[in-house]
Chains A and B, each alone.
Chain A
Amino acid sequence: MKKVDQSRFLTSTRRQVLSGMGAGLLAAPFVLSASKAGAADPVVMVTFGGSFADVVQKVIVDPFTKETGIAVTIANGPDLAKAKAQVQTGNLEWDVLDGSGGPLLNAAAEGLFEELDTKIIKTSDLVARATPHCMPFLIYAGGIAYDPKRTMSPAKTFADLWDDQKHPGKIGLRTRVSETLELALLADGVSPANLYPLDVDRAFAALDKVKPRVAKWIDQTPQTISLLTAGEIDYSYTYNGRVATAKKEGLSVDFSTDQALLLTQYYSVLKGSKRREQAMRYIEFACRPDIQANLAKAYASVPVRPGVLETLPDDVRAVLPSPTDPKMVLVKEEFWADKFLQLDRRFKEWLLT
């Protein structure tokens, strides 16, 4: 009898609380519309932390503010889920997002970003391609890294890497379907010119051949170097900038410049940004030839505007892969916009079996 009393007491409380909550939730949209973020506030640009953010601050943000008077704040950790939540709730924390790869293009297809304003941004005349929502501002290379002390005659192209007679050893590849399928097709002998649209079945067949030698499918980028230096793998698919930093710190790592994928990093403006115009101007500024040259010098990235690479000093050019080099393959990121989810699913299933 008394037990029933207690439960009734609890349920009624819960109901009251829930109805109170309901009212709160209903009111939420009205609270939202009251949110204020004026055009005078700084543009918030979200990018990756650490040394990269320092470079961007010095090379792009500071000169931009100096020239235009538009303040830009750098935020850390461009998480697409946070971007989607911001757009969905209409409560924007960021204006410009720095991102790359299949997930970004997929997010663009979901309608997370403003269309690029072609009146402000010159989306033509680029080394990489702009999509309607994503503007390339940086190109970097993904390829084979090895330890020159351990591996005397290293595999330098993707086809070499697949040849376990001539170049035996354990391999580290990424858990990303984009990049990995391209790599597998190139290893299988597909010519860069005929790479797209990707022959998916052939790519998976090529991956089957190398599967037993892959000691670790790497999810977190730092492991692409740490596993190599710890001797857990002999070859690692990683990035040129990453190898350059490791080398500078005295680690025995080399990056093959004989063949690499050229990958694009993009800027996009979040949908509903109150500072849309300023954000677009920031993006255009970041892609200006002089800024691109400075970025290349500071970060070892390939400029996105044609002709800039040629103006760079020889010592900088020596470490940069050239997009015009036939051995370098520019990844067509827009291929992934509508195929990322489906192919990723297939890739994950392939990994599990």
Chain B
Amino acid sequence: MQTMHALETNTTIGKAHRGRIPIMIRTLGFGTFLLPLTVFMLLVFCVPLLGVARASFYTNGTWTLSAYREFVSGALFHRALINTLSIGFMTGLISVICGYFVAYHLSRMPQRKRRLYIILVMLPFWTSILVKSFAFTVLLGTNGIINQALQAISGTNVVVPMIFNRAGVIIGMAHWLIPFSVLPILSSLLSQDKALRDAAEVMGATGMQVFWKVTFPLSLPGVLASGLMASVIGMGSFVTPSLLGGRQDLMMANLVDFYVREALDWRMASAIAVVLILLALLILSTAAFVRTRLSR
């Protein structure tokens, strides 16, 4: 109760002050902050990408929607679309949950220790996926370390299939995406005003109450941001599914890779890529909409 009050006061003060600042300096000034990256992205990302997107409509000198028609009518693309959405959602969810525990743990330690632990979180990046997939086979395979341990403990021949199926894809991708989700959550946890938590504790709130009433709600924007990011990155990956997935785990990005590099059908590849980007846009704008609704 008290904490909620403290929160509100804090934000009202912020709003009152914002209005007083001369707006002209702000608008023009902030434009200059945005300018370099905007120009860079236009020149080095948008222009090249538009060139590719154009290829999805323009083939052999004519404008056509044939690639999109093929996409809408092809069972292959429907399956890949469903796989992409469900794998992306699952990995995003798991990465955020795992990432939250790590970020929370990190946020409660002194800085020196935290630096070391962040390095620990980033450690997987130093190991190439090509080698990592081998390590995962050793770990998760039917003859792998985990299954052998399970058999030794249970005294049975039980085999838990954890690789070359959907579980394998999600495990592999979560392993890759957890570091991505830790950072935004961590920085939103760290930037919380510790005084709020302290106040709540002084008022007699238990640790659990403090967490659920103060810490967690305040970290929600970070959680949402990192969850979306992890999902959307997961949706665009193809190396992990091809190394650790089963036959039914084909994703849209696998198709993009195939059409770009083997089939050389860039019309189709671009069309799938455009759909993938639009999908990301749809998810993000829905999330933004829900968020503004919730915060109202």
Could you list which residues of chain A lie within 8 angstroms of chain B, going by C-beta atoms?
Answer: 2-3, 5-6, 9-10, 13-14, 17-18, 21, 25, 79-81, 84, 102-103, 106-107, 110, 112, 175, 214-217, 219-220, 222-223, 226-227, 230-232, 340-341, 344-345, 348-349, 351-353
Contact = CB atoms under 8 A, between A and B. Distances in A.
B243 A219 contact: yes
A80 B243 contact: no
B248 A352 contact: yes
13 contacts: A6-B27, A13-B35, A18-B42, A21-B42, A21-B47, A84-B264, A222-B130, A223-B133, A223-B243, A230-B143, A231-B142, A341-B263, A344-B263
Contacts of A6: 27-28, 30-31
B248 A106 contact: no
A109 to B, nearest CB: 10
B79 A352 contact: yes
A80 B31 contact: no
Contacts of A102: 262
B13 interface: no
Contact of B24 (A2, A216, A226): A2
B134 interface: yes
B141 interface: yes
Nearest to B75: A349
Given A18-B42, A227-B137, A232 B142 contact: yes
Interface in B2-53: 23-24, 27-28, 30-31, 34-35, 38-39, 42-43, 47
A184 to B, nearest CB: 15
A21 to B, nearest CB: 5
B38 A13 contact: yes
A168 B39 CA distance: 61
A79 B261 contact: yes
A352 B27 contact: no
Interface in B167-184: none
B67 interface: no
A101 to B, nearest CB: 9
A230 B138 contact: yes
A345 B258 CA distance: 11
Contacts of B243: 219-220, 223
A9 B137 contact: no
Contacts of B258: 344
Nearest to A176: B262
Interface string B138-173: 100111100000000000000000011000000000
B143 to A, nearest CB: 4
